[in-house]
């Protein structure tokens, strides 16, 4: 799974609750990314981080938050402010921006909010 | 604004045939073009990638053709097999430190036995 662990595989939450998705990598890579995938659509970037304690908004960051306290971990919180949180969430890693350009994805977490 | 346009949305090919998926981009700052393969319920897997300084790259049955002047690139799957049935995404990456990927909308490929 691209050297990335995402848990859990399926997550169910009630509307109005915040939920945190886990992403862990064990390859000592600098860059990590969160994408959202909706049925029949491509992936859209939520947040990315190039180094510890630093992260940047992607194209659809509203309603989401992240942290990067450790190099190996990049958790994503889906807040109650996210209007359409039900989606497939994918975490990715990359060796270092500007050098190895390849991004490798984890197995994903499918979040359902009712 | 859709920066990477992918077609067709779905494709059905007979076993042994050639599958062709096309992508077009708008931003000339893109400098890296990967293709990903995704099976249902799984994360996308990097299949093959190309940089704009070459016009073609081949890895096994998979070939990327790249036309810089037309801002188009395509994936060719030779001798398509039922196991190739999946969704394929093209993507483009801009130069610079962030290296964000912009994805096409995907092509669902079905290879009939």
Write the pLDDT tens digit of every residue in A47-65: 999 889 999 999 999 999 9
Give me the pLDDT at residue A98, please: 58
Give me the pLDDT at residue A29, please: 79
Give me the pLDDT at residue B97, please: 60
Q: Which residues of B touch A44 (CB under 8 A)?
A: 103
Distance between CA atoms of A69 and A80, rounded to whole angstroms?
23
Going by C-alpha positions, the residue among B30, B38, B84 that lies closest to residue B60 is B84
Give me the pLDDT at residue A2, please: 73
- For residue range A57-104, list pLDDT tens digits in order: 999 999 999 999 999 999 999 999 999 999 999 999 987 655 557 889
Give me the pLDDT at residue A8, please: 92
Q: Taking CB atoms and an 8 Å limit, are A94 and B42 in contact across chains? A: no
- Interface-testing mutation among B53, B90, B99, with chain A (most A C-beta atoms within 10 A): B99
Residue A27 has pLDDT above 90, yes or no: no
Specify the 3-state DSSP secondary structure of A84.
coil
Q: Taking CB atoms and an 8 Å limit, are B34 and A102 in contact across chains? A: yes
Give me the pLDDT at residue A99, please: 52
- Number of Cβ pairs < 8 A linking chain A and chain B: 67
Question: Do the beta carbons of residue B84 and residue B111 sit within 8 Å?
Answer: yes
| Mean pLDDT, range A20-24, rounded to an integer | 96
Give the start-end residues of each E strand in B19-61.
19-25, 30-38, 45-50, 56-59
Distance between CA atoms of A53 and B5, rounded to whole angstroms?
34
Q: How far is B49 from chain A (nearest CA, A)?
A: 9
Give me the pLDDT at residue A3, please: 85
Q: Which residues of A touch B99 (CB under 8 A)?
A: 31, 94, 97-98, 101, 103
| Mean pLDDT, range B96-102, rounded to an integer | 75
Give me the pLDDT at residue A11, please: 95
Q: How far is A43 from chain B (nearest CA, A)?
A: 6
* C-alpha pair distances (Å), B73 with each of A43, A65, B5, B67: 19, 35, 10, 6
Q: Taking CB atoms and an 8 Å limit, are B43 and A56 in contact across chains? A: no
Local confidence band at B80 (pLDDT 50, 70, 90 cut-offs): very high
| Mean pLDDT, range B75-100, rounded to an integer | 90
Report the residue of chain A nearest B88, measured CA to CA. Answer: A42
The closest CB to that of A2, out of B43, B97, B103, belongs to B43
| Mean pLDDT, range B21-32, rounded to an integer | 92
Give me the pLDDT at residue B99, please: 74
Q: How far is A35 from chain B (nearest CA, A)?
A: 10
* C-alpha pair distances (Å), A48 with each of A32, A34, A107, B69, B98: 6, 6, 17, 31, 8
| Mean pLDDT, range B11-15, rounded to an integer | 98
Q: How far is B1 from chain A (nearest CA, A)?
A: 11
| Mean pLDDT, range B50-60, rounded to an integer | 93
Antiparallel, parallel or unpaired: β A109-113 and A10-13: parallel
The closest CB to that of A42, out of B96, B98, B104, belongs to B104
Q: How deeply is A84 buried, as exposed, middle or buried, from its count of CB atoms within 10 A (0-12, 13-18, 19+)?
A: exposed
């Amino acid at each position: 799974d691209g050297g990335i662990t995402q848990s859990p595989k399926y997550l169910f939450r009630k509307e109005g609750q915040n939920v945190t998705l886990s992403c862990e990598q064990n390859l000592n890579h600098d860059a990590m990314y969160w994408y959202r995938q909706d049925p029949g659509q491509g992936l859209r970037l939520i947040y990315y981080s190039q180094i510890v304690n630093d992260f940047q908004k992607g194209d659809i960051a509203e309603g989401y938050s992240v942290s990067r306290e450790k190099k190996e971990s990049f958790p994503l919180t889906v807040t109650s402010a996210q209007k359409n949180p039900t989606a497939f969430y994918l975490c990715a890693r990359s060796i270092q921006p500007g050098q190895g350009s390849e991004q490798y994805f984890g197995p994903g977490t499918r979040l359902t909010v009712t | 604004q859709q920066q990477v346009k992918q077609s067709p949305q779905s494709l059905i090919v007979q076993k042994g045939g050639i599958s062709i998926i096309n992508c077009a981009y708008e931003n000339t700052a893109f400098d890296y073009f990967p293709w990903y393969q995704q099976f249902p319920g799984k994360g996308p897997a990097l299949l093959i990638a190309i940089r704009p300084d070459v016009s073609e790259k081949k890895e096994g049955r998979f070939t990327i053709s790249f036309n810089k002047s037309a801002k188009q690139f395509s994936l060719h799957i030779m001798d398509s097999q039922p196991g190739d049935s999946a969704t394929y995404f093209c993507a483009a990456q801009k130069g610079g430190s962030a290296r964000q990927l912009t994805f096409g909308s995907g092509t669902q490929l079905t290879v009939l036995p």
